[in-house]
A and B are shown apart, each in its own frame.
Chain A
Amino acid sequence: MSFLTLQHISKKYGEFTAIEQIDLEIERGEFLSLLGPSGCGKTTTLQMIAGFVTPTSGKIMFDGRDITRERPEKRGMGVVFQSYALFPHMTVDDNVGFGLQMRSVKPAERRERVAQALDLVRLSGLGARYPKQLSGGQRQRVAIARALAMQPKLLLLDEPMSNLDAKLREEMHIELRSIQRSLGITTILVTHDQVEAMTMSDRIAVMHRGRITQISTPFEAYERPQTPFASSFLGKTNTLSGEVLVRNARCVEVEVAGLIFDVPHEGRSMKGRVNVYIRPEKVRLTDHEAVARTRGRIATCVFLGNQWLLEIETGLGKLSIARPNFGPPPPAEGEEVGVLWDDDDLRVLEVEVSRGHA
């Protein structure tokens, strides 16, 4: 049995269903992200795992025991909150040592473990300060140290980076990931930031409207999204709507605005109206008339430093293209160019039949 298992978990608030029949299994030492837009139920899921919210139905198993109705203070999980939720009236040392104190760890050992935890998040020497005297990034490190000091079996992170500026956030992604690896602590991260989820996670659970639509490695989630929602939520993509003509052994032939695409179906049944997804970085510009799949006019061309972002007006509609800053710059706006891609890089999904959602 897995380390943490959610079995058919649902949560209703009156008539509103926040979580609908979630099943989730997390292995010991794994880093899993719950990724989704706001209101998708990811935070509610985390709160049920932590014990702050009781599920309406279903069962949560943790380390071999049923914790569905266990009080949060009995669960021994470390939680890092979006607001950090530090105790403003306590010093950093007392904040980090609070969990140990509640477990009646002796003062000498407590001091040692507080120092270790602060060392881990590189805050040594700031133990005597109060939270108000720290920067946002430092406060977040204190929150992480506080959760880790009691050596929890499970670490829960509720959008911990959302109050940091972009650069600090990137640093913390790498740092938190390496802390998690070195401690081998099982971790669940809730985030709406796909970059954050992809940087840190072993697996990503994409959530949408109270359900998990896909659980896979970051690479799988990006390259082979299972639903139209997942494919547009994770990274940018060009969406073209078309019609299936023939389903062959390996591929389906899809017609989009008079153009035929030969897209791998990977064994899924496919008929009628479909969407074809092309990632911007998988489309290239070409001068060779012979290899170009279609032609278009450059509508916008933006330089981002490491790459160029172009929008091309084609017969298929507007196509976004990301081109690495390598070689000469692309042609100017307004010029005609050939556009090229490999059909094997495309993704085809049946148009989601809108299901009723409570």
Chain B
Amino acid sequence: MATLENDRAGVAPWLLSSPALLLFVVLLFVPLLLTLMLSFKVFSDVNGIQTTYTLANYVAVVTDPYYGAIFLRTAGLAIAVTLLSALLGVPETIVLARMRKPWQSWCLLVVLGPLLISVVVRTLGWQILLGNNGLLNNALQALGITSEPIRLVFTMTGVIIALTHVLVPFMVMSVWATLQKLDPQVEWAGLSLGASPFHVFRRVVLPQILPGVLSGSIIVFALSASAFATPALIGGRRLKTVATAAYDEFLGSLNWPLGASIAILLLIANVAIVMGCSRLAEQRFKHIFE
């Protein structure tokens, strides 16, 4: 693309990006800053939020094993969803990429479908499917596989299933992009050199789509670690993740500073993990891709 020289560009770039900049500053940066400030405020059950500042909220979150368990659960949830998304998404994308034209577009639409449906509707759908009197449990009992319903709603398993369902499309899109860049002749090259189709996949195709799997994993991890609606609706009030715990502090115990510090800690953890992973991926794949 043609680029203008710096001194000739003038104010045009600033003008063009000002709507987006304004949006970011007003709707993201300012609230984030306010949350950060809020997290250092002193809170008392009697008088509410004070004007003085303290580190006590952070100390409370970090030292209390109750919050430790929530953070660990959230990390476990995010890791499980990421692994499942990769396990399901990669083969799914490879099959999709090899489909013929009209079918490919239709199936792609089906795969991306969850993103088109409101999170509430989608989650209620899962409730109907996974509930104690849901389709899945009724079917299992009718087939005589189990004698009593398997509890899926209000369990980690249920949350993992529902979150994987909505986040797999991000994995598919990410892997799809790298798969499109793959030279179709490299597979033939592998075959002509005596590699079996399995070896061609493991030694030739997989290493080349790995960057896509990695970036997809980063997206899925970040989104599932900070997911709110699905854990709240399927996990219920007792099976808390970090996002729902922050919500409960805000609206349940009305301890805004504590909720804010939980949110900030989640943000920091998420950013650190995501940045670390992408830095690692960049170094690892630098020589392969420009």
- Interface of A toward B, CB cutoff 8 Å: 50-52, 71-79, 81-83, 85-89, 98-99, 102-103, 130, 132-133, 146-147, 150, 156
Contact = CB atoms under 8 A, between A and B. Distances in A.
B195 to A, nearest CB: 5
A88 B289 contact: yes
Interface of B: 183, 185-186, 188-197, 199, 203-204, 207-208, 285, 287-290
B194 A50 contact: no
Pick the most buried of A51, A74, A99: most chain B CB atoms within 10 A of its CB: A99
Given A81-B189, A83-B183, A87-B186, A73 B196 contact: yes
Contacts of A156: 192
Contact of B288 (A71, A83, A88, A103): A88
Given A130-B287, A132-B289, A132-B290, A88 B208 contact: yes
Contacts of A133: 287
B199 A85 contact: no
A88 to B, nearest CB: 5
A102 B194 contact: yes
Contact of A99 (B188, B194, B204, B287): B194
A85 B289 contact: no
B194 A150 contact: yes
Given A52-B188, A83-B185, A87-B186, A98 B289 contact: no
Contact of A76 (B194, B195, B196): B194
29 contacts: A50-B192, A51-B191, A71-B191, A72-B192, A73-B194, A73-B196, A73-B197, A78-B192, A79-B188, A79-B189, A79-B192, A81-B188, A83-B185, A85-B185, A85-B186, A85-B189, A86-B186, A87-B189, A87-B204, A88-B208, A88-B289, A89-B288, A98-B190, A98-B203, A102-B199, A130-B288, A132-B288, A146-B189, A146-B193
Contact of A85 (B183, B195, B285, B288): B183
Contacts of B204: 87
B50 to A, nearest CB: 57
Contacts of B192: 50, 72-73, 75, 77-79, 147, 156
* Secondary structure dominating the interface of B: helix
Contacts of A73: 191-197
Contacts of A87: 186, 189-190, 203-204, 207-208
Contacts of A102: 193-195, 199
Contacts of A147: 192
A139 to B, nearest CB: 12
A260 to B, nearest CB: 55
Pick the most buried of A72, A83, A87: most chain B CB atoms within 10 A of its CB: A87
Contacts of B288: 88-89, 130, 132
Contacts of A99: 193-194
A83 B184 CA distance: 10
A250 to B, nearest CB: 50
Given A81-B189, A98-B203, 6 more contacts: A72-B188, A79-B189, A85-B185, A87-B208, A88-B289, A99-B194
A82 B185 contact: yes
Contacts of B183: 83, 85
A52 B191 contact: yes
Contacts of B188: 50, 52, 72, 79, 81, 85
Given A85-B185, A130-B288, A72 B191 contact: yes
B159 to A, nearest CB: 36
A74 B193 CA distance: 9
A52 B190 CA distance: 11
Nearest to B192: A79
Contacts of A72: 188, 191-192
A312 B222 CA distance: 74
A156 B190 CA distance: 14
A75 B193 CA distance: 9
A288 to B, nearest CB: 59
B101 to A, nearest CB: 14
Nearest to A129: B287
A320 B248 CA distance: 89
Nearest to B211: A89
A103 B289 contact: no
A21 B184 CA distance: 28
A102 to B, nearest CB: 4
Nearest to A103: B194
Contacts of B195: 73, 98, 102
Pick the most buried of A86, A102, A147, A150: most chain B CB atoms within 10 A of its CB: A102
Contact of B193 (A51, A88, A132, A150): A150
A89 B204 CA distance: 8
A32 to B, nearest CB: 18
Contacts of B287: 130, 132-133
Contacts of A52: 188, 191
A133 B203 CA distance: 21
Nearest to A104: B194
A108 B290 CA distance: 32
A102 B194 CA distance: 6
A98 B192 CA distance: 11
A66 to B, nearest CB: 19
A19 to B, nearest CB: 18
